[in-house]
């Protein structure tokens, strides 16, 4: 199965990296460079870029996750552990949360942050590729992926992999930037992300390029209905999505029965 | 963006801030570790769920009351009530009456609700000490004393205004009836109601006697 965003030309498999076309085997390392660069300022930049609204998007995701005491939760691309922190308290001592991220820098920032908050005991940290999750079949009750799927080279492989590790009855929630539902908002959003965002990145994180990539990668990410179709292709049932903030972000949900 | 997330975030922030002001609340909170309290408060559109651990996490609950009740275990409790009933919940003696009147529904482990009530009722917040940590003891003491004096003056002032206004309306301008007059009028209405009821009963009796003969 292949990512609908990737292309094949002259027998060379390529995919997008922002607006650029790169070889598929290069994308992971290019994305890694971006996140190595922004890891230290990731939380500050998220607050600044979204004016704090990303916290509400994540909170809504947690509300929809339906996590219960004793659950096994996998937070893929968990980065600095925003979702994991809350899940850790919700599953309690009888449950477990696994924070997985392909990027070691992000994982270290997340681990340090959570340990500083006293969240230890029921959290595992795993450096893992979402396309080939290193867990047995039917392991997790809930899998979440917040702002991570668009950086994966083969998105369909990642969804297949999540489907495999979910227990029957389990659910996947993907929170990701998407397509604004109104024309006006879309224009405003374009202006913000291509003109203001890179400048903010330059000022705060001294890295305009990474934030230029962020804006470009959002535009290259599948829209709401395409992603829903990819969920269904992976085998998920009762797939739906909820647009948040006019479709700037969408929360997709699917169940494995 | 769901406004419910903003609402639950604000409640969570407020609760945890409040608890942090009383150092003894940690011990009470630890006794609630792992417990959940679901609150369906009419007319709020969604229920909220308080999850207790080292802090209180507030989640928005999108399931119906019956679905929530179905998944309750021995560490969770569900309360359904109205906003207007909330102040009455402080008085535990009122709970039975509220349940009988259908103003309050409690499902699951009642002990969870009792412990949550205790968590907040036993809050002992020393405002003077909190202000002193950011300023000085003298300033904090002066400020709190001034606030207490002001509050006392406002209370006595309000009582006086209410008394003067009452006198003016009842005695001087005679725009409102005196309390005793209202009571007397109410007594008369009650007596009239009783007389009417007696008359009605008598008429019914006469009517039934007549129809028999």
Predicted confidence (pLDDT) per residue in B17-33, tens digit: 989 888 888 888 899 99
The answer to whether residue A9 sits within a structural domain is: no
pLDDT tops 50 at residue A65: yes
Sign of CA dihedral A23, A26, A30, A32: positive
- Which among B5, B53, B54 has CB closest to A60? B5
Read off the pLDDT of residues A94-148 as tens digits, 9 standing for 90 and up: 999 999 998 888 889 889 999 998 888 899 999 999 999 999 999 999 999 998 8
Element (H, E) at A114: helix A104-116
In this structure, the strands spanning B36-42 and B47-52 are: antiparallel
In this structure, are residues A17 and A31 in contact, taking their beta carbons and an 8 Å threshold?
yes
Specify which residues A101 forms β-bridges with: A127
Closest CA to A30 of A178, A148, A151: A151
Interface contacts (A, B; CB < 8 Å)? 47
Where does residue A181 rank: exposed (0-12), middle (13-18), buried (19+ CB within 10 A)?
A: middle
CB contact under 8 A, B59 and A63: yes
pLDDT tops 50 at residue A10: no
B4 and chain A in contact, CB less than 8 A: yes
Three-class SS state of A163: helix
In this structure, are residues B112 and B35 in contact, taking their beta carbons and an 8 Å threshold?
yes
Chain B 61-80, CB below 8 Å of chain A: which residues?
61-62, 71, 75
Q: What is the ipTM for the molecules in this complex?
A: 0.80
Element (H, E) at B58: strand B56-61
Q: What is the pLDDT of residue B24?
A: 84
The answer to whether residue A47 sits within a structural domain is: no
The answer to whether residue A251 sits within a structural domain is: yes
Q: What is the pLDDT of residue A78?
A: 87
What's the token pair of residue A88? Answer: 């850790």
Which residue has 């275990």 as its token pair? Answer: B73
With CA atoms as reference, the chain A residue closest to B54 would be: A89
- Which among A56, A64, A92 has CB closest to B6? A56
Chain A residues touching B75 at Cβ < 8 A: 69
The answer to whether residue A85 sits within a structural domain is: yes
Which residue has 């409102």 as its token pair? Answer: B176
CA of A232 vs chain B CAs: smallest distance (Å): 24
Q: What are phi and psi of A237, to 5 degrees?
A: -110, 165
The answer to whether residue A28 sits within a structural domain is: no
Three-class SS state of B79: strand
**Domain total in chain A:** 1
Chain A residues touching B33 at Cβ < 8 A: 92
> A12 falls in which pLDDT band (50, 70, 90)?
low
The answer to whether residue A35 sits within a structural domain is: no
Average pLDDT of chain B is 88
Q: What is the pLDDT of residue A87?
A: 95
Q: Report in angstroms the alpha-carbon separations of A189 from A101, A120, B126.
A: 28, 39, 47
> A8 falls in which pLDDT band (50, 70, 90)?
very low
- Show contacts of B58-63: CB within 8 Å, 24+ apart: B58/B8, B58/B9, B58/B11, B58/B12, B58/B15, B59/A62, B59/A63, B59/A90, B59/B8, B60/A60, B60/A63, B60/B2, B60/B4, B60/B5, B60/B7, B60/B8, B61/A63, B62/A63, B62/A64
pLDDT tops 70 at residue A158: yes
B51 and chain A in contact, CB less than 8 A: yes
CB contact under 8 A, A56 and B54: no
Please state which of the ranges A156-170, B17-31, B125-139 shows the lowest mean pLDDT. B125-139
CA of A84 vs chain B CAs: smallest distance (Å): 13
Question: CATH number of B3-121: 3.30.1050.10, 3.30.950.10, 3.10.20.340, 3.30.300.30?
Answer: 3.30.1050.10
CB contact under 8 A, B9 and A59: yes
pLDDT tops 50 at residue A5: no
CATH number for the domain harbouring residue A167: 3.40.50.150
What b/e sequence results for B111-135 when a residue is b if at least 16 CB atoms lie within 10 Å of its CB, and e otherwise?
A: ebbebbeebeeeeeeeeeeebbeee
Element (H, E) at A106: helix A104-116
The answer to whether residue A185 sits within a structural domain is: no
> B55 falls in which pLDDT band (50, 70, 90)?
very high
Q: Torsion-angle region of residue B85: left (phi > 0), alpha (psi -120 to 50) or beta? A: alpha
Q: What is the pLDDT of residue A1?
A: 37
Highest mean pLDDT (candidates A199-213, B87-101, B141-155): B141-155
Which residue has 């390529």 as its token pair? Answer: A14
Q: How many CB atoms lie within 10 A of CB B53?
A: 21
Element (H, E) at A146: strand A140-146
The answer to whether residue A203 sits within a structural domain is: no
- Which among A69, A118, A244 has CB closest to B2? A244
Domain housing A161: 63-178+221-255
Q: Report in angstroms the alpha-carbon separations of A53 from A244, B5, B56, B92, B203.
A: 10, 10, 21, 40, 73
Contacts of A116 (CB under 8 A, 6+ apart): none
B45 and chain A in contact, CB less than 8 A: no
What's the token pair of residue B2? Answer: 């769901």
CB contact under 8 A, A63 and B34: no
Q: What angle do CA A82, A83, A84 make, to 5 degrees?
A: 95
Where does residue B56 rank: exposed (0-12), middle (13-18), buried (19+ CB within 10 A)?
A: buried
The CA radius of gyration of chain A, in Å to the nearest whole number, is: 17
CB contact under 8 A, B75 and A63: no
B53 and chain A in contact, CB less than 8 A: yes
- Scanning chain B, the segments in alpha helix (DSSP H) are 3-20, 25-30, 65-70, 95-100, 110-121, 127-134, 137-167, 179-212
Chain B residues touching A56 at Cβ < 8 A: 1-2, 5-6, 9
pLDDT tops 90 at residue B180: no
- Which among A89, A93, A118 has CB closest to B51? A89
B11 and chain A in contact, CB less than 8 A: no
Q: What mean pLDDT is predicted for residues A227-255?
A: 95
Q: What angle do CA B56, B62, B68 make, to 5 degrees?
A: 80
Please state which of the ranges A164-178, A221-235, B12-26 shows the lowest mean pLDDT. B12-26
Cα dihedral A176, A182, A185, A190, rounded to 10, equals: 60
């Amino acid at each position: 199965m292949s990512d609908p965003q990737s292309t094949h030309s002259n027998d060379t498999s390529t995919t997008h990296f922002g607006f650029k076309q790169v070889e598929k085997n290069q994308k992971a390392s290019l994305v890694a460079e971006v996140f190595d660069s922004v890891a230290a300022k990731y939380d500050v930049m998220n607050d600044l870029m979204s004016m704090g609204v990303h916290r509400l998007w994540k909170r809504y995701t947690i509300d929809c996750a339906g996590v219960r005491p004793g659950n096994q939760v996998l937070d893929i691309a968990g980065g600095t552990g925003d979702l994991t922190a809350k899940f850790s308290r919700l599953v309690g001592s009888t449950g477990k949360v696994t924070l997985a991220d392909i990027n070691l820098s992000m994982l270290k920032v997340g681990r340090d942050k959570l340990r500083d908050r006293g969240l230890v005991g029921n959290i595992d940290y795993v450096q893992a590729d979402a396309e080939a999750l290193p867990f047995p079949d039917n392991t997790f009750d809930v899998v979440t992926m917040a702002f991570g799927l668009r950086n994966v080279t083969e998105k369909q492989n990642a969804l297949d992999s999540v489907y495999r590790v979910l227990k029957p009855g389990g659910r996947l929630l993907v929170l990701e930037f998407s397509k604004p539902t109104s024309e006006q908002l879309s224009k405003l959003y374009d202006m913000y992300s291509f003109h203001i965002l890179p400048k903010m990145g330059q000022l705060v994180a001294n890295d305009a390029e990474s934030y230029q990539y962020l804006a470009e990668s959002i535009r290259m990410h599948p829209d709401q209905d395409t992603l829903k179709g990819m969920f269904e292709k992976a085998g998920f049932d009762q797939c739906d999505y909820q647009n948040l903030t006019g479709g700037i972000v969408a929360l997709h949900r699917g169940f494995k029965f | 963006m769901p406004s419910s997330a903003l609402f639950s975030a604000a409640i969570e922030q407020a609760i945890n801030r409040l608890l942090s002001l009383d150092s003894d609340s940690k011990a009470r909170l630890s006794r609630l570790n792992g417990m959940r309290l679901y609150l369906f408060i009419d007319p709020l559109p969604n229920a909220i769920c308080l999850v207790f651990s080292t802090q209180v996490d507030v989640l928005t609950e999108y399931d119906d009351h019956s679905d929530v009740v179905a998944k309750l275990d021995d560490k969770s409790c569900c309360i359904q009530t109205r906003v207007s009933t909330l102040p009455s919940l402080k008085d535990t003696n009122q709970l039975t009456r509220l349940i009988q009147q259908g103003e309050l529904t409690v499902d699951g482990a009642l002990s969870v609700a009792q412990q949550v009530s205790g968590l907040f009722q036993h809050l002992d917040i020393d405002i003077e000490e909190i202000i002193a940590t950011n300023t000085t003891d003298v300033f904090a003491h002066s400020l709190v004393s001034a606030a207490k004096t002001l509050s006392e003056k406002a209370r006595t002032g309000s009582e006086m205004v209410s008394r003067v206004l009452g006198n003016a309306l009842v005695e001087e301008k005679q725009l409102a009836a005196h309390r005793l007059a209202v009571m007397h009028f109410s007594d008369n209405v009650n007596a009239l109601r009783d007389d009417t009821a007696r008359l009605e009963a008598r008429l019914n009796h006469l009517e039934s006697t007549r129809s028999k003969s």
